[in-house]
Structure 1
């Protein structure tokens, strides 16, 4: 959990981008969004859910959240809590648009599998069959198979794009730039969550279909499932119910900027959607690919997406666009999403015909665990305990900055490259090069060897940092007490 907490705000592509008339249906008024349909929940269960959600939102400092609960494949509780905009007092509703992040990867995988069903893409084929010029700096990119991109076993490095471009050529330029990257491991010989790999998948969809990634998704996934509020990039027009994103930093809730990066749409940089639309999407998946009016994938293809393709831990696995594992004694299919200012969590229990999702205008583990807690209530289980708060009050410690000299230098972090620690203007700073552009993290001192990360966008906010010297003179960087990197 420590590693995931450290990269939570940066592990996925961040920001929002382009919206198109093709991908942006007209938005309905919020008054039409109340969804309590067949099999509605009892008043007692609704009260339990409402109480639980309210407590966890307060605990996690979440301004606004929308919830989706499906039982027997039908939406039974879809509603908003809190505020979509603290400045205006606008409430969060089931129509409020939130940038959901990497739960988009399941949609990209679905689109790719549609092309597989049509015989236009072969999962066993190399990427170069569809993108002949594709290559990496080490010359190994040509051996990557399509299925390895889907399962994060390609070796493509785990890079994150914070801000980029918004024109039509953005995605292809991004993939061409991967010729400067080297693989983290030979294709098929490891697992690493990779936004870069899903950017390549998006370009395959674009090349094979002959239309932009965004238009293909709109035409073959979003519109067929009647997801009337879903866009790529923030919707145009002032009447759209767009939730303001927030970050929690230095003990305060602050508005998050809107960061643009069309080249990472397939990885989830800026898919804006509502709880209402998510209920339609999850309902179709529980119905084995059958939407209300049309089918978007065959049961056989969906079953393949939900088969373990790579182990991610002793108990977890990754399929194609979905994580797989056990929750509360049931087999679960799930994925979280996180961008600067918002996030989401989708959980399906196919055998129980049950699904739960959350969309929040503040990212982090709290809204993800909240979704798990609601799922537990629906399954008659005890919700997991709330994640501990990582906030420490502002430090009153007066540091001896000369002590920091034994910490400065370049540290090699597994997966995430090199981090430079240095002193500037009386502060201990770190360059976080995992993101593009690189970010500067401040290490706030609470003691000579006790620091907390602070960042204006909330990236890795609140993570505890310390250092450990080995007998051989090697210095190790510790995060939350666990070794995470060594000084070069």
Structure 2
């Protein structure tokens, strides 16, 4: 979901210290040490990790537990979130390889149901969907805060009254429905449900028996549920309602992601040599588009802090995160599935540390400012509540000092501002996330203690407002 666009920035922006003279041996014990230390420092409940080198599996393992208390293993099915986009891209490439579509075909030529309230939509190509240059935008199509959808067909139909924000091919913008349209295109062209096509063309050939797809948050199995941390402690919560198939619906495991990483680094051939794509198709997905030097087809393209080539993608749900990285120069692959939400970015942070391990760089200290913020905001909450109670109890005294009705109303209006902010907070958060669409139900997962403080302020403001209006009305009645 929301902040998958930040995964490459997170990896490349963190200063991990100078390189050592020689890279250490990257083996299972070294991987375990990195992950276990991170869990000790952050109270991360559960995480699964895969590290590969060439066609070999260095380590696949689970650490910690699910919200139900079950141990996380290398076969535990967890949410891949926006890492799913690379799977959708490969599903499309399988159709390209068979000659059933071309990347530069217009989408509507194969998917007539894809219509929008703007003639420019007719020029959107398959490539535009996969490299996020379709012109579609959260600012013109609200897929999270709009009416709910439950299938890929409904997701495409929901776009009929929307418009592109830019001409196709002229601007890069991360927009989840691009990949939902692509997945629906696969369904129609292949004549199979998207889940079945992905299983037949990708999962089964690679031996990814733990993997499947989900349509909505309600389809997540208990093992893919996650947490939000408050005061540094994990709180198990259900994922807020959302549709994500095609853009974020893959469910997978560390064991399965190891096979996927090997195929990506091995020209489309899995651990046993089975091919799921041609080397040309794999290279195509890893090649930046002309409109963005940092995004290919379902993958970000950049460099590590050491300057080595990096092909990666992050995934963010509100209760879990995921990350995958390919290091073409060394032949390593890294994947992480963590059961805490995007507020913490734990999968991306562990991925950055494992990249540092591979490159022989010093790992960064863990920096989690959220606990201090939670302490401050929760500390302010009873203070705000007490001030509201005091204001309500002293409302008669307040009314007795007011002579002008207009001035009284003007003094009361600010009391409604916390309620106004509370009801529109998702729009404010959307602006903070560069115009991304956010539903109101998702905001407490991002800022839980702030929402608690704001809710107390809103209720307190309304209580004081009502008490003062009643006191002012009573004073006027007695005066009359």
Aligned-CA RMSD value: 3.5
Say if 1:243 and 1:361, in contact at 8 Å, map to a contact too. yes
What's 1:80 paired with? 62
Which among 49, 59, 67 is matched to residue 67 of structure 1? 49
Q: Flag the 1:210–1:243 CA change in 2: closer, same or farther, 3 A.
A: closer
Shift of residue 112, structure 1, vs aligned partner? 0.5
For residues 454-488 of structure 1, the C-alpha deviation after alignment (integer angstroms, 9 at most, x for no partner) is x433368779x9xxxxxxxxxxxxxxxxxxxxxxx
Structure 1 stretch 129-138 or stretch 195-204: which is displaced more?
Answer: 129-138
Cα separation, 1, equivalents of 2:245 and 2:135: 20
Q: What is the correspondence of 1:29-40 to structure 2 with a 5 Å cutoff?
A: none
Number of aligned residues:
390
Which among 329, 332, 349 is matched to residue 354 of structure 1? 332
Cα separation, 2, equivalents of 1:357 and 1:54: 16
SS in 1 for 2:159: helix
Which among 302, 305, 316 is matched to residue 338 of structure 1? 316
For residues 99-124 of structure 1, the C-alpha deviation after alignment (integer angstroms, 9 at most, x for no partner) is 11010100100011111111111111
Say if 1:152 and 1:191, in contact at 8 Å, map to a contact too. yes
Structure with the largest fraction of strand: 1
Cα separation, 1, equivalents of 2:235 and 2:5: 17
Q: Flag the 1:51–1:437 CA change in 2: closer, same or farther, 3 A.
A: closer
Say if 1:431 and 1:438, in contact at 8 Å, map to a contact too. no
What's 1:153 paired with? 133
Cα separation, 1, equivalents of 2:6 and 2:245: 15
Q: Flag the 1:294–1:384 CA change in 2: closer, same or farther, 3 A.
A: same
Which among 254, 257, 266 is matched to residue 275 of structure 1? 254
Cα separation, 2, equivalents of 1:139 and 1:221: 35
Shift of residue 326, structure 1, vs aligned partner? 0.3
What's 1:220 paired with? 201
For residues 272-291 of structure 1, the C-alpha deviation after alignment (integer angstroms, 9 at most, x for no partner) is 11100101111111111012
Structure with the largest fraction of helix: 2
Which among 425, 437, 443 is matched to residue 431 of structure 1? 425
Shift of residue 387, structure 1, vs aligned partner? 4.3
What's 2:445 paired with? 457
Cα separation, 2, equivalents of 1:461 and 1:58: 23
Long gaps (5+) in structure 2: 8-22, 216-220, 389-409, 431-435, 454-480
For residues 120-151 of structure 1, the C-alpha deviation after alignment (integer angstroms, 9 at most, x for no partner) is 11111111111124222233211111111110
What's 2:300 paired with? 323
Cα separation, 2, equivalents of 1:300 and 1:122: 14
Q: What is the correspondence of 1:284-299 to structure 2 with a 5 Å cutoff?
A: 284-291=263-270, 292=272, 294-299=274-279
Cα separation, 2, equivalents of 1:326 and 1:44: 20
Say if 2:6 and 2:314, in contact at 8 Å, map to a contact too. no
